[in-house]
């Protein structure tokens, strides 16, 4: 399609497209029964309360623990943070 000035539209910048969002990940494999069970379980949880709980666990570990954290524990806390951020996006 050409603009009034004879330029073509960018195929990745189409508006009004019914396709999935470009940032949505493509799942190239089937979901396992365990993943389905997790999704069903999470579907019944209250998202905002789950986010508060994950944040509380994160903060208690970081700010109220007197033990130093090793890299594995820091990575786990970063993963928990990523999880609550994903849940926040879903519940918005």
Q: How far apart are CA 29 and CA 70, in angstroms?
A: 34
Average pLDDT of 31-45? 80
- Give the residue with greater pLDDT, 34 vs 29: 34
Confidence of residue 19 (pLDDT cuts 50, 70, 90): low
Q: How many CA within 13 A on the CB side of residue 50?
A: 17
Q: How far apart are CA 44 and CA 68, in angstroms?
A: 36
| Domain extents in the chain | 46-92
The answer, yes or no, to whether residue 56 has pLDDT greater than 90, is yes
pLDDT the model gives residue 41: 76
pLDDT the model gives residue 70: 92
């Amino acid at each position: 399609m050409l603009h009034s000035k004879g330029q073509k539209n960018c195929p990745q910048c189409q508006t009004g497209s019914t396709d999935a969002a470009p940032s949505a990940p493509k799942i190239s494999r089937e979901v396992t029964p365990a993943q389905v069970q997790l999704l069903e379980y999470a579907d019944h949880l209250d998202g905002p309360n789950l986010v508060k709980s994950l944040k509380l666990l994160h903060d208690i570990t970081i700010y109220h623990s007197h033990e130093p954290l090793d890299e594995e524990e820091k990575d786990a806390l970063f993963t928990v943070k990523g999880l609550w951020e994903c849940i926040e996006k879903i519940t918005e």
